[in-house]
């Protein structure tokens, strides 16, 4: 069996906001998001694209076998141990776990249990709540996705369109931007919390000389402890960005890939990151021979 794992609200947020050519939510085999709360609670509000399921009804086994992510949530389950009790408060909290146990045998990947349930997720991402039940494929394909979250409530990674959307900035409470592209943003253009590094989208583009400025800018914002920063660029091809992975260690790289699954830095950028790492640590730390470009 695939087993079960806890899923942080941030992880589900990033799953919901993956975007390649189109939002990945438009792919039938991408996400199966299941709400096991009561019908009344579901009708009052649920997470975007979630389906309500009754306690003893299991989605089609063939669908579960193909789906990349299967996420189950109740109101506030916070531990995998909650599902052992059938009485009182623990029983209410463990509904997602008890339901997920019936799905393990059908999925190829672990069934994810939303840690903190709907209560915690909706407190963090209220703008992803809805009362809508049905979605047409065309509507899912045209959804406006949000920047992925790299550091909780601190650092986001997105594209120019997202960085220029006032509603997105308001929802995420973003107060600063790092723009790495030839396009100039308008919303933060005259602010001291806006950094524009104008570089072309080519293999020869020089980012190395800007690394100290970028790191200092982001570091100063973090010291203020009240800013959320959005890094967006085109230097990595299309709308992808790998700036937060500037140390280029496998652990950091894998973490960024988990947040943004189609992050693929090109060779020119990776070589400059390696030079930056060598300058910082005074020695070569990372072997890039096994990196996928």
Query: What are the domain boundaries of the chain?
Result: 4-141, 148-281
Please tell me the CATH code under which domain 4-141 is placed. Answer: 3.40.250.10
User: What is the value of pTM for the model shown?
Assistant: 0.86
Across residues 185-210, what is the average pLDDT?
84
- Using CA atoms, how far residue 109 sits from 18, 32, 47, 105, in Å, is 18, 12, 21, 10
Among candidates 223, 240, 221, 243, which has minimal Cα distance to 231? 243
Question: Is the model more confident about 272 or about 58?
Answer: 272
**Is 50 exceeded by the pLDDT of residue 64?**
yes
Pairing of strands 155-158, 229-233: parallel
At the top level of CATH, which class does the domain 148-281 belong to?
Answer: alpha beta
- Of the chain, the percentage scoring pLDDT greater than 70 comes to 84
**pLDDT for position 56:** 60
List pLDDT tens digits, range 34-62.
Answer: 999 999 999 999 999 999 997 667 778 88
List pLDDT tens digits, range 137-154.
Answer: 999 999 999 999 999 988
Q: Give the integer Cα–Cα distance in Å for 167 and 181.
A: 21
List pLDDT tens digits, range 9-37.
Answer: 999 999 999 999 999 999 999 999 999 99
Residue 176: helix, strand or coil by DSSP?
Answer: strand
């Amino acid at each position: 069996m695939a087993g079960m794992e806890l899923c942080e609200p941030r992880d589900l947020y990033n799953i919901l906001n993956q975007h390649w050519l189109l939002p990945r939510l438009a792919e039938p085999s991408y996400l199966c998001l299941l709400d096991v709360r009561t019908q009344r609670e579901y009708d009052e509000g649920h997470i975007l694209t979630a389906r309500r399921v009754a306690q003893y009804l299991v989605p089609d086994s063939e669908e579960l076998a193909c789906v990349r992510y299967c996420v189950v949530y109740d109101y506030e389950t916070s531990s995998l141990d909650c599902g052992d009790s059938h009485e009182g408060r623990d029983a209410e909290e463990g509904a997602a776990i008890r339901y997920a146990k019936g799905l393990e045998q059908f999925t190829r990947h672990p069934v994810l249990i939303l840690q903190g349930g709907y209560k915690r997720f909706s407190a963090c991402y209220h703008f992803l709540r809805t009362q809508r039940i049905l979605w047409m494929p065309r509507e899912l394909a045209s959804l406006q996705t949000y920047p992925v979250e790299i550091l909780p409530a601190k650092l986001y990674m997105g594209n120019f369109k997202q960085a220029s959307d006032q509603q997105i900035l308001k929802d995420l409470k973003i107060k600063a931007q790092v723009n790495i592209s030839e396009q100039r943003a308008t919303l933060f253009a005259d602010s001291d919390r806006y950094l524009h590094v104008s570089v072309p989208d080519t293999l020869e583009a020089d980012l190395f000389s800007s690394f100290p400025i970028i790191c200092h800018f982001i570091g100063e914002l973090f010291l203020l402890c009240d800013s959320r920063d959005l890094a967006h660029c085109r230097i990595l091809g299309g709308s992808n960005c790998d700036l937060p992975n500037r140390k280029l260690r496998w652990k950091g790289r894998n973490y960024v890939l988990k947040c943004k699954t189609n992050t693929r830095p090109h060779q020119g950028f990776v070589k400059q990151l390696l030079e930056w790492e060598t300058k910082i640590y005074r020695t070569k730390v990372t072997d890039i021979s096994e990196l996928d470009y």
